[in-house]
Amino acid sequence: MDRRTPALRLVDRGHEGGQVTPSVPAGGCCVGLYELPVVSFLLGPSFHPGGLETTSRLAQAALVAPGVRVLDVAAGRGTTAFHLAERFGAVVTGLDASDRHVEAANATARARGLDDRVHFVPGRAGRLPFGAACFDAVVCECALCTFDDPDVALAEMARVLVPGGRAAISDVVLRAPLPPDLQDALARALCIANALDEAGYASALTRAGFTAIATTPHDEAVLATIDRIERRLGALEALGAVPGDATLLSTPRARATLASARAFVRSGGAGYASFVGRRPRR
């Protein structure tokens, strides 16, 4: 029996030759990074700032209610989809580019007895594998800025929404250029190089045909996320589970990145926000 702590067992499964290797496949952006066990541990069950509290606010703004058909774009391991089904009574389809995430999320749905209301399919946001006007709401959390073409993704979301349906987006907001000490660590590995400011996201929704766009800031959620990652990194360090190599996940480099990110957010250079737009009825 493996008697190590869950955190140490988790990280060890992500080792290859004794080191964590956070390589991201070409064209895969965050998909390969988020599949790493150590990254999943550091981020926790929700890969986006604010966790399920932010998800609940987003769902309320999108008028998610019992029986409402919701598409969760970039669903990951299904945390948001399960929450929408259990708390709001929605019927949820989760889409993710990772076959591994889709398989695991469907297994979780069966284990939790939710497979009659929640299911997951593989696919890309730029070419949604659904017909027109088949969802009442679309949710996409902390992922739009990672897509190859956010405008195409938003147009696809509008296409699959019924007239009057709502798209609820939350994402990283960049109000100033990333400082040099964050460009490599965050823009490449965490895929936020395409993040916009609040006006930029609202304009993108407008170009896709959405109206009545509402914006809500959640900057405090980013700081809480940084704090949580730092605590979990400390736990891994105490267990001797973080390798001392030159990767993004090495302890000194990760701590420096977190400190720089915290300062950048506090200065107003970056944050997090949600955006809700409605597809016109005509």
**Which residue ranges in the chain fall short of pLDDT 50?**
1-28, 244-246
Tell me the residue type at 200.
G
The answer to whether position 81 is within a domain reads: yes
Measured CA to CA, the distance from residue 37 to residue 18 in angstroms comes to: 14
CATH code of the domain in which 96 resides: 3.40.50.150
Tell me the residue type at 121.
V
pLDDT digits (tens, 9 = 90+) for 37-54: 555 555 555 556 768 899
The answer to whether position 19 is within a domain reads: no
The answer to whether position 180 is within a domain reads: no
Can you give the pLDDT at residue 41?
Answer: 55
The answer to whether position 128 is within a domain reads: yes
From edge to edge, which strands make up the β-sheet containing 118-122?
118-122, 91-96, 69-73, 135-141, 161-174, 270-278, 211-217
Question: Contact, 75 vs 85, CB < 8 A?
Answer: no
Can you give the pLDDT at residue 106?
Answer: 99
The answer to whether position 262 is within a domain reads: no
The answer to whether position 14 is within a domain reads: no
Question: Contact, 57 vs 274, CB < 8 A?
Answer: yes
How many CA within 13 A on the CB side of residue 35? 18
Q: How many domains does the chain have?
A: 1
The answer to whether position 246 is within a domain reads: no
The three-class DSSP label of residue 172 is: strand
The answer to whether position 179 is within a domain reads: no
For 118, the domain range is: 51-172+193-217+274-278
Measured CA to CA, the distance from residue 244 to residue 236 in angstroms comes to: 12
Measured CA to CA, the distance from residue 282 to residue 272 in angstroms comes to: 31
